[in-house]
Structure 1
Amino acid sequence: MAVIFPEMLLQGMETSLQKRLRLRLDMLEMNPYQVAQKAGLGESFVRDILRGKTRSPNAANLAKLAVALETTPDWFLGAGDLAPPKSPPAIGGLPVVGTIQAGNWLDRSIIDDDDEPQIIPVARDPRFPHARQYSLLVSGDSMNERYQDGSYVTCVDYFDSGVSLKPGLIMHVERHNGPLVEVTLKAVDIVDGRMMLVPKSTNPRHAPLPLEGDAGTEILLKGIVTGNYVRTEI
């Protein structure tokens, strides 16, 4: 069933983007929140387009939306017939969607997701052809036994991957405490018979985390690290 908001019923006001977005949501049986999560966009991003609050999303975010809905940005803007391409075009690289920095708490309410992301020249992992893939800049020493400050980790969306949580995985983790969020990397390991999220760091101040969170924090497992990229100066 198509997603329709009252604002969209105004005669003649619906844009091609709104119409085609509704059509694609209906075809894939997805809701706006699911698509926003899959695309790595803000929770209200898809809903705001459907409501007409956002009529001209920037090119980078429209590209993310197209990949999540298995089509192209041009199709959303009215190119071609209403039957979208069956798969997204090849993307030359992975977007850098954030920074990993344990101990750095950010206010989610002022994080700006609209900046066009940097792209690193790393191919998608063919083991996960339909999953969202992205990269993160490593800042600090919380995982410096594996990933050095200034390098990039490549990731696949945890829920898209279909991979079960098990020791040995390196996870992209978010800790939430009210409006604050900490973005970090942790290894899955068994500590005293309990599955934990463990730093691989030479700095002893970085401590293991229980999967259920601690001290009022909530743990969200966002992605699985699939590789590491270091830019060479030339």
Structure 2
Amino acid sequence: MMAKLMFHGDAEHSRIFPTTSIGNIPLAVEDGKSDKSDMDDSTFRNRIADRLAEIGRNPFEAARRGGLERSFIVDILTAKKKSVRGQNLAKLAKALDTTVEHLLGEPPVKSSGKPSLALTNAPLVEVKVAGIVEAGAFREAPWFSDEDEPATVATTRDRDFPEVQLVAFDVGGDSMNALKPRPILPGDRVICLDFEDLRGRLPLRDGMVVVVEQTLDGGHHREWSVKQIELYEDRTEFHPRSTNKAHKPIVVPRVLARDPSEEDNRQVKILAIVRRIENEVPLF
């Protein structure tokens, strides 16, 4: 059985994806056109200098911690570097123990540079809990059944993509109980970047953990599950990481057959990219 890979489209603001091969999804690093800072404004340079003083870190050590070139921050402070874009802005925030939002104008989180417990002043956003992710569990799609209004959870925006919509899923089943370095267990909640809202700014990579949907019977039944991506030249594979060998990967060829057989009624699409795993320890 051949799977069709689909991804979110903009048509009619729906969550139904137009059919496409995975070759149409960006797989290489691209510089984002958003999250940029204008170095012609000395306020940004002053903010960086003040932040370095607050955490007691020199610009070379900060650049090393953020995974930047050694002179990167010095070049900003001396106005040699005129702009910072995309992933470099996220790395700069990491180098300064703060967030992209704070670098772009919000008050930074103060830190002594040493591990400590502190309340964050980062704003919280309301995120919908879309449903349960559980490999092998095909459920009736919501447009064919009555479902309650989804629950919501308050959380902070994503550090690297603060402008992208978040979505949450509750985890059932054991299909990712052997994921490394941290397993995803039944009862966990995953906080994810909405794949549609990313609009190609975060290319797929080997090792990414994603939420995928499979549909059967013309979309009447669907399965949501968490998988880890393996990229190959001619295909993309979505793998469970489990001690339960009953769970199998989903294999999607890059080039799809033009005339699939009548039995080929399964469609696969990426819903979200997993960024955080949360759980609560019961009090009683």
Report Cα offsets for 1:60-119 as digits up to 9, x if no partner: xxxxxxxxxxxxxxxxxxxxxxxxxxxxxx654422111001111112143435x33323
Structure 2 residue 135 is the aligned partner of structure 1 residue 102: yes
The amino acid across from 2:221 in the alignment is: L
Answer with 1 or 2: which has the greater Rg: 2
Report Cα offsets for 1:196-220 as digits up to 9, x if no partner: 1000111001001112599531101
Higher RCO by CA contacts (8 Å cutoff, separation 6 or greater): 2
The amino acid across from 1:100 in the alignment is: V
Residues 156, 31 of structure 1: alpha-carbon distance in 2 compared, 3 angstrom cutoff: closer
Match of 1:203 in 2: 244
Structure 1 residue runs of 4+, over 6 Å off? none
Q: Equivalent of 2:156, from 120, 123, 131? A: 123
Overall identity of the aligned pairs, in %: 25
Structure 2 residue 230 is the aligned partner of structure 1 residue 185: no
Match of 1:172 in 2: 211
Gaps of 5+ in 2: 1-8, 17-122, 257-262
- Equivalent residues of 2:213, 2:268 under 8 A apart: yes
The amino acid across from 1:196 in the alignment is: E
What is the rounded CA distance, in whole Å, between the counterparts of 2:233 and 2:11 in structure 1?
A: 41
- Equivalent residues of 1:175, 1:182 under 8 A apart: yes
The amino acid across from 1:229 in the alignment is: E
- Equivalent residues of 1:100, 1:184 under 8 A apart: yes
Q: Secondary structure at the match of 2:129?
A: strand
Alpha-carbon shift at residue 182 of structure 1 (Å) = 0.7
What is the rounded CA distance, in whole Å, between the counterparts of 2:175 and 2:209 in structure 1?
A: 12
Structure 2 residue 181 is the aligned partner of structure 1 residue 148: no
Residues 175, 194 of structure 1: alpha-carbon distance in 2 compared, 3 angstrom cutoff: same
TM (norm. structure 2) is: 0.48
Gaps of 5+ in 1: 1-29, 39-89
- Equivalent residues of 2:134, 2:224 under 8 A apart: yes
Report Cα offsets for 1:162-212 as digits up to 9, x if no partner: 211121111110001121111111100147974310001110010011125
- Equivalent residues of 2:205, 2:231 under 8 A apart: no
Q: Secondary structure at the match of 1:211?
A: strand
Alpha-carbon shift at residue 131 of structure 1 (Å) = 1.9
